Amino acid sequence: MQNGYMTDTISAIATPIGSGGVSIIRISGAKAFEIIDKLFSVKNIVPNRIYHGNIIENGEKLDDVIVLPFKSPNSYTGEDVIEIQCHGGVYITNKILDLTIKSGARLAQKGEYTKRAFLNGKMDLSQAEAVLDLIQAPTEKFASSTAKNLFGKLSLEISNIRHEIMELLSKIVAAVDFPEDVKEPEYSYIENTIENILEKINKILSFSKSSNVFRQGVKIVLAGRPNVGKSSLFNALLNLDRAIVTDIAGTTRDCLQETLDIDGIPVTIIDTAGIREGENINKVEAIGIDYSKKYQQEADLILFLYALNDGFTQEDERIFETIKDKNYIKIAAKSDLTNNKDESSVCISLKTGDNLDILKEKIKASVINQNLTEVEFITNKRQQKCLEETKNALINALIGAQNRQIQDLISIDVKSALMFISEVSGEVVTDEILNNIFDNFCIGK
Ligand SMILES: Nc1nc2c(ncn2[C@@H]2O[C@H](COP(=O)(O)OP(=O)(O)OP(=O)(O)O)[C@@H](O)[C@H]2O)c(=O)[nH]1
Ligand SMILES: [Mg+2]
């Protein structure tokens, strides 16, 4: 931690910038009460009350505000905190923020309130990360799962695991340090304990993939030749006239992206330029085609379209070859223009709306399949990495115990498992890790 970092009093706007009913400016630190005393028409305010009064500058009333005082340790950050609720105008909010700075606060850094809450023991690291998740949650389902972490679901499980590792370590170390007084634990006891702990860690990790899907969402990419109806389908799925549709082959150049919520999973749908080769392709379309190929490779699901009335052409075949190893749904479009059938595809018509419901169901099933089960423990990549490292260290210790290695050596692996698990909740954490986490927050949180 930087010198003097935690002793500064910080101030920032806690609400989004823009015109609105109310904006909140939050001051945190030892000088919070002193600062509000300089600016507020009501003097000597005490905590746990709500005050109505004016912000005064040079004897002039600037705004009519509500002030909420909190006394350390009973506040979000654990420090003295003053919240000023003013009218939600951009000018007035910035003006009041400015006055708090002139009166002795400094502008808060990104996530500094939550970082202080963590450093002051108001929450552990996984709860602080849950705050960020909740702010950024793209869907209701993710928000409700991550809220469980905010209330300590993951922290509690990690703390139990940590406790069990610590107990195992102390039993081994006690016998190593005091061989005359303390009996060495049975190897079978060490093995059973580690196996039990590994089971708990594996359970949390079994939700990693689903956690990541919830967090990053699923990418669906439309692919196929020009003019087969990709943009038309894109618009139909979004229920929006988003992409330009014409009968000119090569209409779409740039990749267009929109998001949808499918059963709580954030889904990004990407419309791409139709892929073709030949001499009448200009530079712009060629760039678009390169993008299409790139997006298709990154897709979690590809909606591959061909025109049923044209049949499955060589060109369709060539494009299909490049995506067939990926997760795809094959769609025969423009079924209204022909009596042709294709059993291996979903035959749709955007003109008549034929089979569009069936296609939507298929897309939903594929998206949900990737998400597998209900997510009991939401984790992020950092937490998953710490848990993987804990697991590896414990597996080494287990192998040591199975081979009846001397227990002094086994204790080394158990000790590193303890270090790794402690990183999840933040008992052991470096400045670099903290800065990485809180850099993702916005200013004012
Ligand atoms: N009859 C009929 N016409 C369709 C259907 N779907 C799309 N079209 C028409 O086919 C033409 C091409 O549609 P687009 O959606 O622009 O095709 P695209 O695949 O995005 O084409 P590019 O952007 O050039 O790659 C337009 O004239 C659409 O109106 C359909 O189901 N039936
Ligand atoms: Mg298009």
Atom 27, ligand 1: residue with shortest CA distance:
247
> Per residue in 352-369, pLDDT tens?
999 999 999 999 888 877
Phi, psi of 22 (to 5 degrees): -140, 145
Q: Which two tokens stand for residue 56?
A: 């005064």
Burial class (CB in 10 A: 0-12, 13-18, 19+), 257: middle
Give the pLDDT of residue 265: 78
Confidence of residue 373 (pLDDT cuts 50, 70, 90): low
Q: Which of 221, 222, 232 to mutate to test the pocket of ligand 1 (most atoms within 8 A of CB)?
A: 232
> Per residue in 394-405, pLDDT tens?
999 999 999 999
Atom 13, ligand 1: residue with shortest CA distance:
229
Determine contact, residues 391/205, Cβ cutoff 8 Å. yes
Q: Count the neighbouring beta carbons within 10 Å of the beta carbon of residue 437.
A: 21
CB within 8 Å of 161: residues ≥ 6 apart: 197, 200, 201, 390, 421
262 has a pLDDT exceeding 90: no
Q: Is the CB of 349 under 6 A from ligand 1?
A: yes
Closest to 149 measured CA to CA, from 116, 126, 119, 117? 126
Give the pLDDT of residue 1: 40
Q: Which two tokens stand for residue 271?
A: 């419309």
Q: What is the mean pLDDT of residues 367-381?
A: 76
Question: Residue 299 C-alpha to ligand 1 middle, in angstroms?
Answer: 22
Domains and CATH numbers, the chain: 10-123 (3.30.1360.120), 128-207+378-426 (1.20.120.430), 217-371 (3.40.50.300)
> Per residue in 77-88, pLDDT tens?
999 999 999 999
Q: Are strands 60-70 and 265-271 parallel, antiparallel or unpaired?
A: unpaired
Q: Is the CB of 235 under 6 A from ligand 1?
A: no
Q: To the nearest whole number, what is the mean pLDDT of the chain? A: 91
372 has a pLDDT exceeding 70: no
Q: What is the CA 271 to chain-centroid distance, rounded?
A: 24
Determine contact, residues 329/344, Cβ cutoff 8 Å. no
Q: Which two tokens stand for residue 170?
A: 């102390």
Question: Residue 349 C-alpha to ligand 2 middle, in angstroms?
Answer: 16
Give the pLDDT of residue 5: 58
